[in-house]
Amino acid sequence: MNFSVRISKRQFSQAGKLCKGTYSIVNPTHHIERYGKRVLMESADSSKTHSNDIKAKCYIPLDVRQDRLTEHYYNSVQSDMLLMAYDHSETFTPGPIYREIDNLSNPYLINKTKSTIFGKTGLFLDRYPITPKNIPELLNVEVSCMAKDVNVNKYKYITAKALIQQITNVKPNNIVVTESDHNMFLRVGSILGGKADLFGYDKSQFLLTLNELIFPKDEYFNGIPEHLADPKGHITLELSAEQVSFFPEIMSDKDLWDSLLGMTVKINTTAQDPAYTKMLLSGLGFPFRAEGPLEEPARV
């Protein structure tokens, strides 16, 4: 008697039919990992190139303008500040008071979320020791201009925004009224002027123009007062209408402006102490006016 033996082949998604069920109890082993095949297509080669490459589909050219202020900071000012401000014995100094609110002491706060940090916007920030990774530097410059006679001519804010855009080469945002002012007869939402935040090359160009052209032309300017440096690393300067007229963009076409307005310039840095803020701006060339010994107020 001859017996024929049938050999079953184990497949990926099904089992053999000899003495076995018609389904497989083993998960398929093919195509476990999913990947995007579109990346392997030749038409997707343009997405693999960097945006600064001329062959890229969406080409974005690099900024090849020389930033003299940034180069001066990294080549000279940064190392000098680390040498003058580094102190081995300096330790961490806390800023605002951290305290917890006890929700159980007030019956109206039992079901409300417990706040763990209170008073974060205090007068002083947390001050850390100056290290090679913690050297103060410039963040941005905020330039704002407001028209005081908006209640007489509601389109006066256009002049304020045009001045900022002409000087900074940045499109300003609107400064609107958040609370109604009955004295000036202004409603909520009325536009008062414009405000622009400067970064990168625009920031450096504005500060260089301010320090090398505007301040030397003002015969009454005798330096930036020391008390303008606050403990949060900011310095706020008030430019008069005469100083605004010294900008080359305004002086070339001064007759086209019906009136000139003053501006507020706020320089933001990462400094955690007024002395470091003045040290940084002094290294960048800004002159300060001595007003006697400056004593730092006691920290909380």
pLDDT at 90 over 60: yes
Which H or E element spans position 244? helix 241-244
List, in order, residues 6 or more apart from 7 with CB less than 8 Å away.
none
Q: How confident is the model at residue 269 (pLDDT cuts 50, 70, 90)?
A: very high
> In 3-state terms, what secondary structure has residue 56?
coil
Q: How confident is the model at residue 120 (pLDDT cuts 50, 70, 90)?
A: very low
pLDDT score for 117:
47
Q: Which domains does the chain have, with CATH numbers?
A: 68-91+135-289 (3.30.1440.10), 93-126 (no CATH)
List, in order, residues 6 or more apart from 272 with CB less than 8 Å away.
125, 126, 127, 128, 136, 231, 232, 233
Q: Identify the CA nearest to 265 among candidates 163, 195, 204.
A: 195
Q: What is the pLDDT of residues 228-251, one digit of tens each?
A: 888 888 999 999 999 999 999 888
Annotate 255-292 with b (16+ C-beta within 10 A) or e (fewer). eeeeebbbbebebbbebbbbebbbbbbebbebebeeee
Question: How much is the average pLDDT of 121-133?
Answer: 73
Reported for 281-286, long-range contacts at CB under 8 A and 24+ positions apart, including other chains, are 281/224, 281/235, 283/73, 283/76, 283/77, 283/80, 283/81, 284/69, 284/72, 284/73, 284/77, 284/138, 284/207, 284/211, 285/211, 285/212, 286/211, 286/224
pLDDT score for 92:
78
> In 3-state terms, what secondary structure has residue 209?
helix
pLDDT at 123 over 80: no
Contact call for residues 260 and 164 (beta carbons, < 8 A)? no
Q: For residues 130 and 82, what is the distance between their CA atoms, to the nearest angstrom?
A: 7
Torsion of the alpha carbons at 245, 249, 250 and 253, rounded to the nearest 10? 140
pLDDT score for 210:
93
Question: How much is the average pLDDT of 263-290?
Answer: 90
pLDDT score for 193:
87
Report the range out of 40-54, 69-83, 96-110, 178-192 with the highest average pLDDT: 69-83
Q: For residues 85 and 14, what is the distance between their CA atoms, to the nearest angstrom?
A: 74
